[in-house]
Structure 1
């Protein structure tokens, strides 16, 4: 039996979410007092939907699962917003909104209209009527922004890619996987980044772009152009599983990739979202709750796991993290920014709100 770490108990009440983390991890992260949630639904904003030609309250029901990146000295948050066109998680139409912050914890501006959404374009067969969901965003060294998001047509979720230079106007490239992999369900892509000149930029590994992706297991894929990706496979052509759920742990049901992974001198750090299985999970956490983990991959062999946290470093704690669309409790990581030598980590709360935690960069 594993012994529960008393420091973790203390840290849950002090605001520091895992006081003694291994030196390869990012953190510990702290909740800034009195600011969360930083983004809530807005019933006043209206958008003329190009699919139905009607005005919709595009962010009236829920705002959650945020990506984040630096632009012009500000942190820009791309968040998933749901309208009220249906009932239940995934049954409404999702669009991507844009918010900006001067300090990372207070939102100064929100676009009144979404910046990425289903349209009468080449992607409508993949995006209507479920929409554009759960973005992860990162920047190339030359200032091009890549968003990897879920195209949802109420039939099959597919990872899609889009590029932009201003975070407002996006060129969609469609499903990132081609051939036999185009028709499979795919979600949650974390492109590998590195720190350059004090900010995160998309990195190459042995000449190729690299991403971790997946919901139940962690898989990987490589690319030469950021929009067309080739999954890693086994000799018999199946997807290669790099990491999987563990019985008796907080990630016993899902190990879903979070924000862009970070290449450090210790290895590649992937933050991920672990779902606690109702029957075979860790009894210290609520059944079906999402908590946050970290795993370290080898810099020279990015398929190889070097280390993995046994305890989550972020757990649902505040009321807005345990209510809303997903009352089992959710902290769902999707956005990570290095800003003024601090890590700003953005996450969805119970599929209904957006919050942030902050850590000093120590390595």
Structure 2
């Protein structure tokens, strides 16, 4: 594989989406969406969010040899255990570093969302470290102008050190960075100094949020899939997917941004669901000569889009 360039794409949604739906009367009977993705042993693994009608989220595991057709495990691999996640373990992102999986997810207690961390060496037995940002850090603060609330989501860890330290990019509302020497303890940038914020009058005017883990590109940029929202015509939100980038020698400065989204709600599943008008990317992998981007559809079903370098137009 030759290294990609910014922006990554174009992506085409898979014609047989959704690729995963809620099933049965179990923990994943209500809604299934917003997956992390990683490649292991020539298979794509999805760590996806799902819940029953109680809307208490768990994280499940699915595996595929082709990237489109998945087999699921019967039981979740991560479930609420503590007060800070009593109403759900939500929206996972995963990175593997030196044989250890680092899973960031949102712990939700019914009132407050907090960015949490768990580690594993087998994707089934997890050590939880709880919320990893200071109390009072609010990723919506720069958007609303309010202070004092604790709220954080959406962390992606870059697997290589940059300037001698690990970087995590995180945030819903605006996007921030944090650094770490050990991948467990993280020091965030100042709450009033995000590296990326919503763009007034554009498709991401209401909020921006980190999507999938970054990718190193051919010209030294790191590509980020992000999610942005604006008010919908008939609903409170319209979530679309975009891209931003930073340079390795300036990892705290955004130097490029797509001016229009590469994915937006179009199908019935994306236009109506638990939260309507949503395409929400969290997983991105290189697999069998193509990039596969996995995303949630209206917080209800799970889909994939693909980009095959050198092939501009094609049909499934």
Alignment partner, residue 111 of structure 1: 73
CA drift at 1:179: 6.2
Q: 1:78 aligns with which of 39, 47, 65?
A: 47
How many pairs does the alignment contain? 296
* Structure 1 unmatched runs, 5+: 1-21, 45-56, 86-91, 193-201
Structure 2 unmatched runs, 5+: 139-148, 311-316
Counterpart residue number, 1:162: 118
Identify if the C-alpha distance between structure 1 residues 290 and 115 changes in structure 2 by more than 3 Å, giving closer, same or farther.
Answer: same
Deviation at 1:32, TM superposition (A): 2.4
CA distance in 2, matches of 1:212, 1:103: 29
For residue 178 of structure 1, report the CA deviation from its aligned partner: 4.0
How far does residue 64 in structure 1 lie from its aligned partner after superposition? 0.6
| Distance (whole Å) between structure 2 residues aligned to residue 178 and residue 342 of structure 1 | 39
Q: 1:352 aligns with which of 268, 277, 300?
A: 300
Is the 8 Å Cα contact of residues 219 and 239 (structure 1) preserved in structure 2?
no
Instruction: Identify the residue that residue 198 of structure 1 maps to in structure 2.
Output: none
* 2:56 maps to 1:125: no
> Within 2, Cα distance between the matches of 1:143 and 1:105?
26
Aligned 8 A contact 2:68 2:304 in 1: yes
- Shift of the 189–311 alpha-carbon distance from structure 1 to 2, 3 Å rule, reads same
Whole-angstrom CA distance in 1 between matches of 2:294 and 2:198: 23
TM-score by length of 2: 0.89
Aligned twin of 1:275:
229
Query: Higher RCO, 1 or 2 (CA under 8 Å, sep at least 6)?
Result: 2
Structure-1 separation of matches of 2:289 and 2:112: 40
Contact 2:5–2:218, Cα closer than 8 Å, also in 1: no
1:273-352 aligned at under 5 Å gives the runs: 273-277=227-231, 288-327=237-276, 329-352=277-300
**1:39 to 2:20 alignment:** yes
Distance in 1 of aligned mates of 2:13 and 2:157: 26
The answer to whether the 8 A contact 1:342-1:360 is kept is yes
Greater per-residue strand proportion = 2
Task: Say what the alpha-carbon RMSD is for the aligned residues.
Answer: 2.0
1:289-313 Cα shifts (integer Å, max 9, x gaps): 1011111112101111211111101
Q: Pick from 179, 182, 185: which aligns with 1:222?
A: 179
Counterpart-to-counterpart distance in 2, 1:310 and 1:153: 35
* Secondary structure in 2 matching 1:221: strand
Which whole-Å CA distance do the structure 2 matches of 1:338 and 1:247 have between them?
33
Deviation of the 1:184 alpha carbon: 2.1
> Is residue 2:58 matched to residue 1:95?
yes
Structure-1-length-normalised TM-score: 0.77
After superposing on structure 2, the runs of 4+ consecutive aligned residues of structure 1 that deviate more than 3 Å are 178-183
What SS does the corresponding residue of 1:259 show, helix, strand or coil? strand
